[in-house]
Structure 1
Amino acid sequence: MPETAFLAEHVVENLRQVFFVYDLVARRLHYVNAAYEAVLGGRRAQAAQELPALLARLHPDDRDYAAECFAKLSQGRLHEAVEVRLLHPDGQLQWLCLNAALHPQPDGGQLLSGLVEDVTAAKEYARNAERFNNKKNSTLEILSHDLAGPLGVIHSAAAEVRARTQHLSDPSLHELLRIIEQTCRESTDLIHDFVDHEFLESVNVELRRERVNLVERVGITIDNYRRQQQQLNLRFTLQAHPEAIYLSIDENKLMQVFNNLIGNAIKFTPAGGHIAVTLHEHPGHVLITVADTGIGIPGELQSGLFEKFTRARRPGLRGEKTTGLGMSIIKTIVELHQGRIWLESEAGQGATFFIELPREVE
C-alpha cells in the first residue's frame, strides 16, 4: 500500500492539470499539486490564501454560472465539465475547464476533488474555426442569391427572345438560345443544390453542445450580411437584451438555422427591404425572432410549412430554387435543442419566425 500511495502521489504531482482537494464543510483547500503555479500563476504554498482573489478574477458573465455549477456540485448533481474564463490584469482571458466530484466522508464531511485544465489554446482554435464556418455559411447564402439571381434574369431574357423569334427560320439561333436557357437553369440548380447539401449534412450529426454567448455569435452572422447590404439592396439589424446571453447549444447547427432563415428572408424580400433579428432573455427561455418586410406567407400555406417537401415551397422573387426541405431541417434542429419554432405572417405583410430555446437543458 505505501508503494501504491507513493506512486499515486508521484502521478498527481506530475500532472499538467491542477489537481485539488477542497473541504466543503470547513471551506478550506486541503491540497493542490505543483501544476497550480504553471496553470494559475500563483504560489503553491499560498494557494489557500490566494483562492478568494483567484475567484474574484472570474469573468463577470461567468460568475452566476460558476455559482450555479458549484451549488449543483455541492449537491452531487453536476456530472459534466464546467468551462469558465479568468481575467488577467493585462486584460487577457484564460479559459479553464473543471472536472470535479463530491466525496461524502464517514464523519459527515464533504470533500471536493477535481482537475483544472487550461484550454485557452483549444478554445481559440475552435473559435477561429467557428468564425470561418459561420462566414462560410453566410457567404454561401449570399452567393446563392448573387449568382443565381443574374442567371435567372439571363434565363428569362433568353426565353423571351426565343419566344419572339419563333417565326424566324434560323435553327442555329434557336439552338443557341436553348443552350443559354439550359445552362442558366442547370447552373442555378447546381448552386442551390450545393447550399442545400451543406445544410442537410448538419442535421445528421449528433449535437455538440457548449456554453455560447448567443448575442456574440449571431452578431458575427449579421455582420457578414451587413457587408453585403449594398449588393443585396437590403438592410440587416440585430437587437439583443441583454447584451450577452449564454446558452448551451450546438453553435454550428444553430448558426446554420439563422443563415437559412435569413437566406429565406432574402429570397422573399424585395429590394430596399429590412431583415431584423432580435434576441430576448426570459426567466425560463430565450426568444429569437427573424422578421422581414417581404411578400409574406399566405395563411393557407402556413400549416404545412415545416413539413418535408411541403406544398408551401415557392421560388424566390429572383427565381431562387427551393427543395422544400429547409424549414423541415430548421424545425428538426430547433427541436434537437429542446426548443420550438413558429411563425406569424400575412400575405404582403412580411413574415416573422419565432424560436424559443430553454435556458435549462433536460
Structure 2
Amino acid sequence: MPFPSTFAEHFLHQMPFVFFVYDVPTQHVAYVNLAYERILGGHCDQVNEELPALLARVHPDDYEHAVDCWQRWRAGRLQESFELHLLTPDGADQWLSVTPHQLAEAATGQQVGGLVQDITTTKVALWHSDKYNSKKNTTLEILSHDLAGPLALLQQMSDYFHDAAAPLQNPELMHMIEQMRVLCRDSVNLIRDFVDHEFLDSVNVELKCERIDLVEKVRLIMEEYQASAAALDKHFVFTPEVALLYVEIDQNKFMQAIGNLLSNSLKFTPDGGTITLRIAHKPGVAIVTVADTGVGIPAAVQAGLFEKFTRARRPGLRGERSTGLGMSIIKAIVELHQGRIYFHSQEGEGTVFTVELPLPDESAAAPLPK
C-alpha cells in the first residue's frame, strides 16, 4: 500500500513491534513491517501464504478468546489491547500484546490495522513473580498458624500458673508469670499484625486485571497447604470440576482474598478437620467455594459478618486475634471484580463460603480429562 513518504516507511520498518494492515473483503494482509520477521519469524513478502500457519499457532486455550476479539475488532467494538498465547514452531510459549486500530480511511470497516508486541519476557517474569508472591502469602499464613499455636498454648499455661501461684503470695514469681503472659500475648498479636498488614493494604491498590486460568492459580495455593497438612493437623482437599477456567481478575488481590478465606477456615477448624476448596462454573459465572468442618459461626452474629469491625470477630481456636476487618475486605475485593460472596454456617458443623465471579463472554471451561 502507498505511503506519504519514504521517511514514514523507513520509520515503520524500524519500529520494535509489528505493524500491519489487513483487508477484510479480500482476506489478505495489505502491509506488514519488518518487525514481522524479527518477532514472528516470517517473511514480509510471503505473509499471506504464512498467515494460516501463523493462526494455527494460537494456543488451544486462547482460541475462543482470539475468535471473540477478532469479531469485536471487525465490528469496531474492541478498543483495548488484548493478549494472545502462541506456540512457536519448536513448541515454546510466546505471548503477544495486540493493539487494535480502525483505520481512518477505512470508514466502512473494510480494513483494520494493528500493533503486535512480543511480551513473552514480561509474562514469564510476572508469572514467576505472581507464583512466588502467592507462595509467600500462603507461607506467611501457615507460619503464623505454626508460630501462634505454641505461643497461644504458653499463654494459656501462664494463665494457669498465675492462678495456681496466687496463694503462694510471691511477688517476684507473680511478676515473672505476668511477664510470660504479656510476652506470649504480644507475640501472637505481632505475628497476626504482620500477616494482616499485607492483606489490609491490598484493597487500597487499583485493580490490574488480566486473563488467567483460575484452576491453575488456586491449585498453587492448595498445594502449599497440602504440603503442610501434617504439621497443621488438617486435611486439605482441592476438587476442581473443570481442568481450566479463564477469568479476568487482579491475581494478587483475588488470591489474597481466597487465601484469607482459607486462613479463617484454618483458625476455626479443630485438629483433624477438613478444609475443601472447589471450583465450578455455570453459564456466565465462575464459582469458588471454601468449606470447612470447623466450629461454625454463631447464628446471632451471621447477619453482620461482612461489616467492618463486625461483632462476629472472635479469636481463633489457638487464640489468633481478629481485627474484625478481614471479611469486609474480602467482600470489597470480590465486589471490585463485579462478583458476590455469601455463606452458610451451622454451629458445630462448619462453614461454606461461596464466591461467584462473572466470566468473560468468550470464556469456556475445559472438562477434566477422563
Contact 1:104 1:110 in 2 (8 A): no
Quote the Cα distance in structure 1 between the aligned partners of 2:178 and 2:275: 37
Q: Deviations over 1:34-93 (max 9, x none)?
A: 111110111221111111111111110100000001111111111111111111243210
- When structure 1 is superposed on structure 2, of 236-245 and 58-67 the one drifting more is 236-245
Name the TM-score, length of structure 2 as normaliser: 0.94
Paired-residue identity, %: 48
Quote the Cα distance in structure 2 between the aligned partners of 1:110 and 1:285: 35
Contact 1:82 1:97 in 2 (8 A): yes
1:297 maps to which residue? 297
Q: Which amino acid aligns with 2:85?
A: R
- When structure 1 is superposed on structure 2, of 88-97 and 210-219 the one drifting more is 88-97
What is the CA distance between 1:286 and its match in structure 2? 0.5
Aligned residues: 360
Aligned pairs (5 A) from 1:1-362: 5-103=5-103, 105=105, 108=108, 110-360=110-360
Quote the Cα distance in structure 1 between the aligned partners of 2:122 and 2:171: 63
What is the CA distance between 1:5 and its match in structure 2? 2.5
What is the CA distance between 1:204 and its match in structure 2? 0.3
Quote the Cα distance in structure 2 between the aligned partners of 1:45 and 1:236: 57
Q: Deviations over 1:137-185 (max 9, x none)?
A: 1011111111111100001101101110111132211111111110001
Distance 1:323 1:25, change over 3 A: same
Q: Which amino acid aligns with 1:71?
A: Q
Contact 1:233 1:271 in 2 (8 A): yes
Q: Which amino acid aligns with 2:181?
A: E
Q: Deviations over 1:113-134 (max 9, x none)?
A: 1111110000011111111110
Quote the Cα distance in structure 2 between the aligned partners of 1:196 and 1:107: 54
What is the CA distance between 1:219 and its match in structure 2? 0.6
Quote the Cα distance in structure 2 between the aligned partners of 1:191 and 1:107: 62
Quote the Cα distance in structure 1 between the aligned partners of 2:185 and 2:106: 76
- When structure 1 is superposed on structure 2, of 182-191 and 233-242 the one drifting more is 233-242
Quote the Cα distance in structure 1 between the aligned partners of 2:246 and 2:360: 11
> Matched residue of 1:322: which SS?
coil
- When structure 1 is superposed on structure 2, of 243-252 and 42-51 the one drifting more is 42-51
Distance 1:9 1:269, change over 3 A: same
Quote the Cα distance in structure 2 between the aligned partners of 1:320 and 1:33: 61
Contact 1:23 1:109 in 2 (8 A): no
What is the CA distance between 1:4 and its match in structure 2? 5.8
Contact 1:215 1:243 in 2 (8 A): yes
Contact 1:104 1:111 in 2 (8 A): no
What is the CA distance between 1:288 and its match in structure 2? 0.9
Distance 1:152 1:106, change over 3 A: closer
Quote the Cα distance in structure 2 between the aligned partners of 1:3 and 1:137: 54
Quote the Cα distance in structure 2 between the aligned partners of 1:307 and 1:164: 40
Quote the Cα distance in structure 2 between the aligned partners of 1:81 and 1:304: 41
Quote the Cα distance in structure 2 between the aligned partners of 1:8 and 1:204: 44
Q: Deviations over 1:200-234 (max 9, x none)?
A: 10000010011011111111111111111110011
Task: Give the RMSD, CA atoms, in angstroms.
Answer: 1.5
Quote the Cα distance in structure 1 between the aligned partners of 2:108 and 2:72: 18
Contact 1:141 1:195 in 2 (8 A): yes
Quote the Cα distance in structure 2 between the aligned partners of 1:236 and 1:92: 34
